Amino acid sequence: MRELHMPGFIDLVRVLFRNYYRGVDLSEVNDLERREFGFQFFDREGMIRHMAFRNSDELRHYLVSNVPSHVYYSSALYNDPVNPDMDAKGWLGADLIFDIDGDHLPTQNCQGVELMTLECLSDATEEVNKLIDSLIEDFGFSDSSIKIFFSGHRGYHVHIELSDVRGLTDEERREIIDYLLLRGFDMERLIRGNAVLIDARLRGIGGRLASLIHELDPDLLNSLSGRRRLGKYVIRKLNSLNPVISERLSIHVDEVVTMDVHRLIRMPNSLHGKTGLRVVRVSPSDLERGAEFIIDRAVQFRRGSLTLRITRKLPVRRVLGEDVVGEEGSVIKVPTYVGIYLVMSGWGEPVD
């Protein structure tokens, strides 16, 4: 995180963060004493890591006393989480974690967008819905075993903390990623002699393929019914859809996050130091209510306002659901949470 040379403003943000952490809900941090923690701060570069806490009260005391800008914990559980030697920590397994970030989505709303927009977050919301459907329909996870968190910025983290997945190796996690990304997908693998595994009644990729083919070419889908041997013409037409299938059905997760069995991920209910928003757990019904509702769930610091100068032309009119009107160099007054986001993200500077 870049160092910010605005002592008065940073002091204000520290006070707000400290007050938040006095009452922070740490119930989402399971197996707390077995996890490694890492922290970044407002006034220094780099990260302090290889820390551990015996219980939530000890962790809360550290947060209030030191007021970090970012809080992370390990997806892994360890015998000795404070040991700086990764091989000596005593790895006990790791949660299965997925990260969907608007920065990485190949959509028009997200490409090249520096400021978080509701449109880009909407695309990330659609992507996380695709992921949840696949985890349930294809992998057989129950909806109750899947935890969804808004990341506090442009995307979502999905956690599965079951003992059945904690022992997965990085290579086994790679296979999951390859499936989600449709890496090496071949339409003809779903055509086995007289069996055509493309049918709306099927769960998983076969059912989703049928729905997409029906949207693109209903007559082609009809030609697949009856499970009879397909002619070369039909197979060629199916193969011609491979590019659009990969674009529409692949799920754009950050593969490094999922594969790394020692990964540090943002702690649930912590504050994102670049936005001031909370890493908040959301439900599938919350996702259905849209990006603006998700932002509203994550917003803290609603009281009061901040006066700031816009230092760069804003690419959007609405910031965190609020209208922000002003040209580069103009002085505006905005709600506190909007001002924190604009200043910490480098779009504005506080005016005394």
Report DSSP letters for 113-145, one per residue: --S--HHHHHHHHHHHHHHHHHHHHTT---GGG
Which residues are bridge partners to 242 per DSSP?
none
Q: Are 312 and 347 in contact (CB under 8 A)?
A: yes
* Two tokens, residue 101: 């970030």
Query: Cα-flanking dihedrals φ and ψ of residue 100, to 5°?
Result: -115, 115
Q: Catalytic residue numbers? A: 99, 101, 254
Name residue 127's amino acid: E
Name residue 322's amino acid: E
Query: If we measure between CA atoms, which residue out of 268, 133, 267 comes closest to residue 207?
Result: 133
Q: Are 63 and 32 in contact (CB under 8 A)?
A: no
Query: Cα-flanking dihedrals φ and ψ of residue 232, to 5°?
Result: -65, -35
Name residue 192's amino acid: R
Q: Helix crossing, 7-22 with 336-344: angle to 10°?
A: 120
Query: If we measure between CA atoms, which residue out of 311, 308, 306 comes closest to residue 347?
Result: 311
User: Cα(47)–Cα(40) distance, rounded to whole angstroms?
Assistant: 5
